[in-house]
Amino acid sequence: MSFKQGAESIKEKISVGFLYHTNKTRLKLEPLTGEIGFERSIKDKNIHRPGLALAGYVQLFRYDRVQVCGNTEMRYLSQIDPKHREEMLRTIFKFKVPCLIITNNNEVDELFIQIAREQGVAIFKTPFETTKLVYFLSDFLDDQFAPQTAIHGSFVDVYGIGLLLVGRSGIGKSEIALDLVERGHRLVADDIVMVTRKGEGILMGSGTDLVKHFMEIRGLGLIDVRSMFGIRAIRFQKRVEVVVELMDWDANADYTRTGLDEEGISILDVQVLGIKLPIFPGKNVTVICEVIALNYLLKHYGYDAAKEFAKRLEAVISEKSKQIGERRVDYFEHDFE
Amino acid sequence: MIEQEVIIKNRAGMHTRPAAVLVKTAAKFKSDFYIYKDGMEINGKSIIGVMTLAAEQGSKLILRFDGADEQDAANEVIDLFSRGFDE
């Protein structure tokens, strides 16, 4: 199964200013050096603790990462000889460090800030303890540097299952999404679905900031699903679990008849369930989409209808070989209702 | 497959009207039509897709046509860009 996927893109860098402005409240960041160094870029999603570099070992100093100084670093600095300390600070700030965050509201003296200023490095202070800060900051940086792709399709949460409808332009993806919304399901995005790989093997889909919950219906133009159907009809993001490819009915194509031969589809190197759905006039695709979601849920809870049926069939066949003259239904109870 | 870089000429950029003209033009042809800008590739036959790019004056787009009538599609669409959507 294959459909057109947009180019994969990964953000190459973010600026320190962007990091500060998007996280100042969440991470309680307090800038100690004004806006100095806000133009520097962060290119790595990992975080570095410069303990060893401050102790003088700079050979493997990952200066290009966001630096986090916790209690260890700050206490070490406060107890060494002042002259040595100044030398150490000058050494590490000579590297092109993107920025430095001091945790636990540790005291920072004038000299520290002055050296950072001279070298153009932004310094922030936060009341969070190091583990907590690293946890939140990693989450943010992971998200910023996650591989992303734009997929042409409609994305709906159907009974809690993220259903991504794809297919050629004009096949009716938006109309099906609208129909699903009418039946109480929730629209995530229409037309442009931004898919991001989170962690290992998880795909998250959402709309773009500009388009969020607007959709185009051919013949009508643009509509806003959120103001039309209300807050219950939308959601901002959802894990992508099933891809439904709508295709024009083709008598020669090979469609699954039992559901035993499941096909996967790869998006950003993550495998999800893919279903080829031929459509033709009179076919209620909306109901089929609901059934796809319900069937996926059943399988998730351990019941696979196709396998269950196959098992029954095998049982009947093996039973039959022992008997002579059988009927295909059990004996009717005597009520003839 | 035809690939061509174009520049948005009109002052208002690719706002609603030019976007509508563009998708209507592209929809006349059978060929697939994609637009690439800033690490994002969208379907050029979808109005929301085109508007998502929010392409301002002077921005560069890469157009890609693929299909039986790609030459005709490319000619007409590129002409539209070079005329600045008649604005």
User: Which neighbouring-strand residues pair with A31?
Assistant: A124
Confidence band (pLDDT; 50, 70, 90) for A1?
very low
| Contact residues for B34 (Cβ-Cβ < 8 A; gap 6+) | A4, A6, B41, B42, B43, B44, B63, B64, B66
**What are the sequence ranges of the domains in chain A?**
14-144, 148-300
Find chain A residues with C-beta within 8 A of B47's C-beta: 216, 222
Chain A contact present for B15, CB below 8 A = no
Contact assignment for A215 to B32 by CB distance below 8 Å? no
Q: Rounded to whole angstroms, how far apart are CA atoms A51 and A100?
A: 12
Position of tokens 């690293």?
A: A134
pLDDT tens, B26-59?
989 999 999 998 878 888 998 888 988 889 999 9
Catalytic residue among B2, B10, B15, B80: B15
Position of tokens 């037309």?
A: A191
Provide the number of structural domains found in chain B.
1
pLDDT at A324 over 70: no
Q: Are strands A202-206 and A186-198 parallel, antiparallel or unpaired?
A: antiparallel
Could you tell me which chain A residue has the CA closest to the CA of B23? A169
Residues 17-46 of B with CB under 8 A from A: 27, 32, 34, 36, 39-43, 45-46
Average pLDDT across chain A, whole number: 89
pLDDT at A116 over 80: yes
Contact assignment for B39 to A214 by CB distance below 8 Å? no
Q: Which domain holds residue B27?
A: 2-86
Closest CA to B3 of B60, B86, B85: B60
pLDDT at A248 over 70: yes
Contact assignment for B45 to A191 by CB distance below 8 Å? no
Could you tell me which chain B residue has the CA closest to the CA of A194? B40
Contact assignment for A216 to B45 by CB distance below 8 Å? no
Q: Rounded to whole angstroms, how far apart are CA atoms A9 and A89?
A: 37
Choose from A145, A152, A155, A214 for mutation: most chain B CBs within 10 A: A152
DSSP A163-220: EEEE-STTSSHHHHHHHHHHTT-EEEEEEEEEEEEETTTEEEEE--TTTTTEEEETTT
A223-229 mean pLDDT: 94
Q: Rounded to whole angstroms, how far apart are CA atoms A97 and A116?
A: 10
Contact assignment for A192 to B42 by CB distance below 8 Å? yes
**Domain A148-300 class?**
alpha beta
A20, A124 Cβ separation under 8 angstroms: yes
Q: Which two tokens stand for residue A322?
A: 């022992």
A256, A208 Cβ separation under 8 angstroms: no
| Contact residues for A238 (Cβ-Cβ < 8 A; gap 6+) | A155, A157, A162, A188, A204, A205, A206
Catalytic residue among A132, A152, A168, A299: A152
Contact assignment for B48 to A216 by CB distance below 8 Å? yes
A54, A88 Cβ separation under 8 angstroms: yes
Chain A contact present for B62, CB below 8 A = no
Confidence band (pLDDT; 50, 70, 90) for A337?
low
DSSP A209-221: TTTTTEEEETTTE
Contact assignment for A191 to B27 by CB distance below 8 Å? no
B7, B76 Cβ separation under 8 angstroms: no
CB pairs under 8 A between A and B: 50
- How close does chain B come to A216, measured CA to CA in Å? 7
Given this model, what pLDDT does residue A333 score? 65
Given this model, what pLDDT does residue A40 score? 93
- How close does chain B come to A151, measured CA to CA in Å? 8
Global model pTM greater than 0.80: no
Instruction: Give this complex's ipTM.
Output: 0.75
Contact assignment for B52 to A211 by CB distance below 8 Å? yes
CATH number of B58's domain:
3.30.1340.10
Q: Is A152 a catalytic residue?
A: yes
Q: Rounded to whole angstroms, how far apart are CA atoms A127 and B87?
A: 55
Helix (H) or strand (E) holding B24: helix B16-27
Confidence band (pLDDT; 50, 70, 90) for A5?
low
CA distances to A71, A160, A178, A296 from A37, rounded to whole Å, are 24, 44, 48, 50
Q: Rounded to whole angstroms, how far apart are CA atoms A241 and A205?
A: 10
Q: What homologous superfamily is domain A14-144 in, according to CATH?
A: HprK N-terminal domain-like (3.40.1390.20)
Please state, for a pLDDT cut of 90, what percent of chain A lies above it. Answer: 55
A55-79 mean pLDDT: 91
- DSSP 8-state symbol, B57: T
Q: Rounded to whole angstroms, how far apart are CA atoms A66 and A101?
A: 8
